[in-house]
Structure 1
């Protein structure tokens, strides 16, 4: 214990001296955006708390929608209004297109191959094009409709089994398994998560661990001088988890290459064909990094959004009755929602939009970084500033939304706002050239899962997890915004 204390003290002294040196070495730019006065060394870190998206939304009410803070050694710009977000993500998109890379995601040099973190350029455009070609194009989505339908049927069957025994379903975990198997079948033509069991040591648990580590506050991200020490061991653990994932992908790739033909025409087949044609641009390591991005970004965010949607619907009886009535009229009770049904289910679509407005999966999107000083709304933003777009605050802005804190899907019935990054009041998937490429798939899966669960069952709260029969609405901040307490509910057969 004494050694640990001495070691941490030495690290803090080292960080202190480096920070003091940097203060004297750099002159403070003039005309910075407004923001709270930073303290020595820690800057404004003490103001974040355990719910940074909420804390920064409150600070923005004092200092304005374009606000600058010092988080340790990192200068950080926080955007908290639709107007300011449009300036950053559209009008000056080219100046704000680079990424701030969390230290955890440098494990195995993942960020150097990740389409999420690659700088905008030829390699980034190549990877985006491959993603669109292999999984996110209209043709690919149409070709994979049967996979989504099949895995949602498995989810409903799992809930039917629980209803027969009177057991509760952890909605988030069930949706996580379903999302993972939709992705794994689209990519590899096989399940990578057991739809009925939690073994604790399987692929999905490794992905879960990656999400947990990615969401932890990391001292290195606020004090880069500590990078060589990795004081919390986050990068070390991420290196282990990434290695486990890469080993699984390597086995799948070798099996497919050994087959000699690419007859399955899934994402792996398509990527291997591209790799054979352009080995210098897209090798096997790039394939593995792309697959890792898809699992990390596409499982937790979708399952969290479904859990929030179910939560809001179940605590709003009027909404529940209205969406179930629409489902019964359009597709009939106890049927699975298909992609072709969605255009005839406007209220279900409104429920999803309202969920993403008030519970965006990534409250700050993915942090950006500016490479050179820029002018924004008359202020000078220094080079290397991290940029956070607080979409959680934008979605709850009372200047933009009537009854902004209330769950009212009806607000979208006569609205033309959509989720594709054109309407900056509602940008849960981002906007501009860094718009999430997985938006079409995630949005589709979310609608189909939510509609199918509501159309096949009534739902009761679990007395063991919710003894007072109320649903806890506390948030747990991380790389994706989760419910602090899982939604555990009992499926009841329809009468």
Structure 2
């Protein structure tokens, strides 16, 4: 009898396993994943990835299709590389893909659970997004701090006049980074020059160490062991940043109401103190928000301005055409202002073309919440999705001569350049997924309006007031660097030669 029971249970176990195996086999046979290149054990597709990651993904997509699956060590992702598939992810299935992936380095962040950029789609994220749109980065708020941007632009321009008078070169990469960071710091917290420089250095260190720590993803669970000490370094950097932010928070809290400048910190503190706020913010929420905006805003505008100057220096005809437009709009005796930009279609086209060729954020990061179908393939829930913005905006199926800098393609008269597509000249990141430098949908960049205001007027002022000569002569080396923002590989060192000094005219 005992033997019978043993036999019965063994038979039942075998039958259960067989049924489970059949179901698993059927599920696998029904599952249709995106195509994937041949991979190697353990490292997956890492051997196919070069130092310029978006370009490596672009080459793979040209061979395997606009939606591919890659295994990078222990990390897996799908890569989107054309406008049609990007539209499915960022519009058709926007609600499903409105989550951001969490990377291995996130457990080393002091403000874990408070980050707006990577927050899951929910009440906290929706509240912070609404706050950005209606208060922190609204048109009225940007208008209130126009004087800050004008003052910082004048400081930048005067520094170039001094360089010109002394026949001295300047590193535009460093100049633009300091300039962008100064504007951001003053609009956010009303800091002094000393404090701004500390923040700029901390942000640069954070990005450098954070990028290395994120590579721990390829090691899977081993990445959490912090074998190279990057987690410890990151915690130290964030701790220093936290100390500085706490100083400014206390200064803002001690102000009288009439002394408040209405900067971003004042706005957030007002919400923090409001017991009836839709979402009660913590002190860490405020600090995390500032870390987010400094990480997202310090290098992005700077890198775009570097590429704009590099492309125009290498294309003197474009530079002359832009200078003529500026002179016709503002005249020969005053410095260009933000209010002039709307009357300068060629300037706007020049900036759009820079953003197309050299997006400062080459990837838009998403993660699916539920299983779905994209481009006919099955995508499981929690799948990390990288929209290769760099590849999409250089796709030869969408753009004529996609590797060339041709601002005219964004003008109304550019039908021939655009391959007969009139809509190309009119798109501004709206519903045309061939041009998405700031992303799209719920997770689109909330700071795009500020970035464009700064970039457009700055480029206009540099072209209006100076000729630019590359140190060493010749053209700018347009080799791309391997950093996350894909900036120039080498510093952009130039001699400014004054052709119009607005400060002499004003005096």
Using the size of structure 2 for normalisation, the TM-score is 0.87
User: Partner residue of 1:225?
Assistant: 221
Give the counterpart of 1:484 among 470, 474, 489.
Answer: 489
- Structure 2 counterpart SS, 1:49: coil
> Could you tell me which residue of structure 2 aligns to residue 403 of structure 1?
401
Task: Describe the SS at the equivalent of 2:363.
Answer: coil
Residues in 2 aligned to 1:422 and 1:109: alpha-carbon distance in whole angstroms? 37
Structure 1 residue 165: Cα displacement:
1.3
| Worse-matched range after superposition: 296-305 or 204-213 | 204-213
Gaps of 5+ in 1: 1-24, 196-200
Deviations 1:267-288 (A, max 9, x none): 1111111110048621221111
Q: Which residue of 1 aligns with 2:374?
A: 376
The answer to whether the aligner puts 1:359 opposite 2:368 as a matched pair is: no
Give the equivalent residue in structure 1 for 2:410.
412
Cα deviation 1:396-447 (Å, max 9, x = unaligned):
1111101111100001011444444422001011001000000100111110
Closer/same/farther in 2, CA of residues 270 and 315 from structure 1, 3 Å limit: same
Task: Mark the runs of 5 or more structure 2 residues left unpaired by the alignment.
Answer: 1-23, 413-423, 501-507
Paired with 2:379 and 2:86, the residues of 1 have a C-alpha distance of 15
Separation in structure 1 between the aligned mates of residue 74 and residue 167 of structure 2, nearest angstrom? 53
- Which position in structure 2 is the counterpart of 1:118? 119
Would the aligned equivalents of 2:252 and 2:260 in 1 still touch at CA under 8 Å?
A: no
Range that drifts further, 339-348 or 254-263 = 254-263
TM-superposed CA distance for 1:333, in Å, is 4.2
- Structure 1 residues 321 and 356: CA distance shift in structure 2, 3 A: same
Instruction: Write the mapping of 1:33-52 to structure 2, written as runs, cut at 5 A.
Output: 33-52=34-53
CA contact (8 A) 2:36 2:64 kept: yes
What is the distance in 2 between the residues matched to 1:155 and 1:36? 48
Q: What is the number of equivalent residue pairs in this alignment?
A: 461
Counterpart Cα distance in 1 of 2:432 and 2:244 = 40
Question: Distance between the aligned counterparts of 2:427 and 2:180, measured in 1?
Answer: 23
Cα separation, 1, equivalents of 2:430 and 2:445: 9
Rate the CA distance shift 1:174–1:360 in 2: closer, same or farther, 3 A.
same
Distance 2:343 2:331 in 1: 13
C-alpha deviation, 1:217, in angstroms: 7.0
- Whether contact under 8 Å (1:456, 1:493) holds in the other structure is yes
Name the structure 1 match of 2:479. 474
Contact map agreement 1:315 1:471 (CA 8 A) in 2: yes
Contact 1:172 1:303 in 2 (8 A): yes
2:436 is aligned, of 421, 427, 442, to: 427
Match of residue 18 from structure 1: none
Tell me what 1:82 maps to.
83
Residue 330 of structure 1: aligned partner = 329
Q: What is the SS of the residue equivalent to 2:120? A: coil
Structure 1 counterpart of 2:202: 206
Structure 2 match to 1:15 = none
Equivalent residue of 1:393, what SS? helix
| Kept in 1: contact 2:78–2:384 (CA 8 A) | yes
Contact (CA 8 Å) 2:470, 2:494: kept in 1 or not? yes
Cα displacement (A) at 1:109: 4.2
Distance apart, 1:473 and its partner CA: 1.0
The 5 Å alignment of 1:122-271 reads: 122-192=123-193, 202-216=198-212, 218-261=214-257, 263-271=260-268
| Structure 1 match to 2:504 | none
Measure the CA separation in 1 of the matches of 2:430 and 2:236.
35
Output the CA distance in 2 between the equivalents of 1:216 and 1:28. Answer: 35
Q: Deviations over 1:28-50 (max 9, x none)?
A: 67311112022111111111111
Report deviation, 1:194.
8.1
Equivalent residue for 1:277?
Answer: 274
Counterparts in 2 of 1:124 and 1:218: CA distance versus 1, 3 Å: closer
The aligned counterpart of 1:6 is none
Q: Deviations over 1:36-82 (max 9, x none)?
A: 02211111111111111111111111110011111112221000000
Partner of residue 64, structure 2: 63
Task: Give the drift of 1:108.
Answer: 2.8
CA distance in 2, matches of 1:406, 1:123: 42
SS in 1 for 2:77: strand
For the residue of structure 1 that corresponds to 2:300, the secondary structure is: helix
Quickly say closer, same or farther: Cα 1:359–1:127, change in 2 above 3 A. same
Across the aligned residues of Structure 1 and Structure 2, the Cα RMSD in angstroms comes to 2.1
Specify the SS of the correspondent of 1:353.
helix
Q: Secondary structure at the match of 1:203?
A: helix
Q: Distance in 1 between matches of 2:452 and 2:76?
A: 34
